[in-house]
Amino acid sequence: MKQQAGIFLAKGLCAPMTSRWASHQRKRFEEGIALFNRQQFFDCHEVLEEVWLQVSGDEKKFLQGLIQVAVAFHHLRHGNLRGARRLLAAGVDKLSGFGREEDSVDVAAILASLEPLQQQLNAGEVPPDWPSPRILLKDTPLPSKE
């Protein structure tokens, strides 16, 4: 069994924008994260994009970063190293715009788990059997407005 890096999104360590989302948006977000964790990256992209289309500002940028990371792994799986490198860079760039604590996002964990892969892709190396990170949500649901 491969060891996978963890990305933690939990209450207090999670994007605060999720507390402002309607319950159906929060549910779709969680479904997208579950798809990412099952390495169904294209489906993850589709589900997160549904929420992305309904939000604005920082919420939109945060989701776009996650979507781009998911699509980068989809490209990587299908041997499209150029697309993987480009989308991973774009996703990392967007996620890097978020603070560490003030935005309540554990961006450091996301970026740390992606950095070695990004270095390999930038060096033109084909990463052998790269383990995708996991996004873990805390059991306690975040408040949402109906």
**Tell me: the pLDDT tens digits for 92-145?**
999 888 765 433 346 677 788 889 999 999 998 877 778 788 776 544 343 343
Instruction: Judge residue 141's burial from the number of C-beta atoms within 10 Å of its C-beta, 0-12 exposed, 13-18 middle, 19 or more buried.
Output: middle
**Tell me: the pLDDT tens digits for 39-87?**
999 999 999 999 999 998 888 998 999 999 999 999 999 999 999 999 9
Position with higher pLDDT, 7 vs 26: 26
Report pLDDT for 2.
37
CB 86 within 8 A of CB 64: no
Which residue intervals of the chain are DSSP H helices? 23-37, 41-52, 57-77, 81-96, 107-122
Has domain 17-126 been given CATH number 3.30.1540.20? Answer: no
Position with higher pLDDT, 56 vs 7: 56
Q: Would you say residue 11 has pLDDT above 60? A: no
At 87 the three-state DSSP class reads helix
Report pLDDT for 137.
57
Count of other CB atoms within 10 angstroms of residue 61: 16
142 Cβ neighbours under 8 A, 6+ residues apart: 11, 14, 18, 19, 26
Count of other CB atoms within 10 angstroms of residue 138: 13
Instruction: Judge residue 108's burial from the number of C-beta atoms within 10 Å of its C-beta, 0-12 exposed, 13-18 middle, 19 or more buried.
Output: exposed
Give residue limits of the domains in the chain: 17-126
